[in-house]
Chain A
Amino acid sequence: MGVTAAPAAVQDAEVIHTVGLTKVFPGGVKAVDHLDLSLRGGEIFGLLGPNGAGKTTTVGMLTSMVVPTDGSAVVGGVDVIRHPALAKQAIGVVPQTNTLDRSLSVAENLYFHGRFFGMSAREAKTEAHRLLEKFWLADRASAEVLALSGGMAQRLMVARAVMHRPAILFLDEPTAGLDPQSRIALWEILQELHGEGQTILLTTHYMEEADQLCDRVAIMDHGRILALDTPAALKRGVGADTIVTVSAEGGLEELARLLEARVPGATNAKRVDSTVQLGVSGSRGVLPAVINAAEQGGFTVTDLSLTEPTLETVFINLTGKELRD
């Protein structure tokens, strides 16, 4: 009692606040290590990291399914550790696996979820219908959930998770295993929800997904946050604003050394497969500089491309994990 009018959420529209959140599993595995996290209302926040980084455990603790070893977590203005049942009112979850109720039809999955959260029968029916329309599932309303494709099942789980209008929507690896069309459809849905003001926390190991969708990204490894910022700022942090990929004939290691020495602002040039990649800050005049440097060194450039740094570049810089070496 007395928690209903939680003033914390009113004072600062902070939807998630954790301090020193830690989970050590029996056997001593430290899955999450003193996590301090703060999410503002309305943002899409990405937890990006390889498998085993602690992303799912973090979501588990924030959704009351994993009991933290240490630290505190406030979600939607409620202390999740002390008042899990109350906090669950503020939480919507799309887990990694398909947890749709196989004994119920598509529409009934939404209907009963609404009833769990206190909707009247009529309200739950109307809302289920509206969400099925919105998530392109209206023609499947009375289908068995096992008859849904992976993408449809995923959309239904998102619909179910937002049905009770949670303060925060959690998605754990939402696009893992989806085909490209379904992935794009899900991204559109998430962007639409974002447009309506829904706060979203998603975990992913797809750099592209974090980059496309998220307002802010935390890069996680071994249970710790290594960097946290907007995707653009994280990429700026790499120290180069352009990544140049050069295809050429001849000794590529030598070409890499040559380009790093002669192209103004070049850093971190290295051979990647049958190309040379280098970061350049200040992209003006890069193309002629690269071609001139290569030709003066006796190389013939066959192809040349400029891209912005990706979150993958950021990740590799932070963890020192060379994915290709």
Chain B
Amino acid sequence: MPDFSDAPSKVEVTQLLKAWGTGDDKALDRLTPVVQQELHRLAHRCMSRERPGHTLQTTALVNEVYLRLVDVNAVEWQDRAHFFAISARMMRRILTDFARSRNYQKRGAGAVQVSFDEALVVTPEKDGDIMALDEALTEFAVLYPRQSQVVELRFFGGLEVKETAEALKISPETVKRDWRFAKAWLRRALSDETIGNANEDATEDTNDDDSDEPRKESA
């Protein structure tokens, strides 16, 4: 974890983002540890929240991270859209790299379990899935550039429909349609690749400490 005093300030993060957006690759090296630190902080929060009966206020959490990272006030209103696009792209890069690095670590570290509760949630929980999603999204973008941007902004950037519409200058309806289509497309792309893993997950639910809990939700 970077030393606090060395960590870029919000204003710097905003500037770094801008710099990265204009092609300064080094800016990402400075941004990565900041995002990772937030990630770990968030992980800690997740650990506290992953209990039945505590619905995740995901947008609030992610927004909070953004607020902590970035001096949104310093961003001029007119380039907010641009700013969101860059932020989302940054998140995508950093998180995919992060997932990739962990995936390598993990291969040496043995099998992974997924608890029953988590298996119920169809979401790319495993490190590999963020990587796979990134790859699928790149593929998707070839044919559906706008639709892939919707995914980038929403999934990686954590934006709401309304914000996404604003950032892409399209209607919220279009965002919703694109989103629905992209979900189906990406899910299909991922399921083709990850059938084996999914089965593995279902059988590996053993002594996780959540497993004896009553489950109310049927998602």
Q: Tell whether A and B belong to one assembly.
A: no
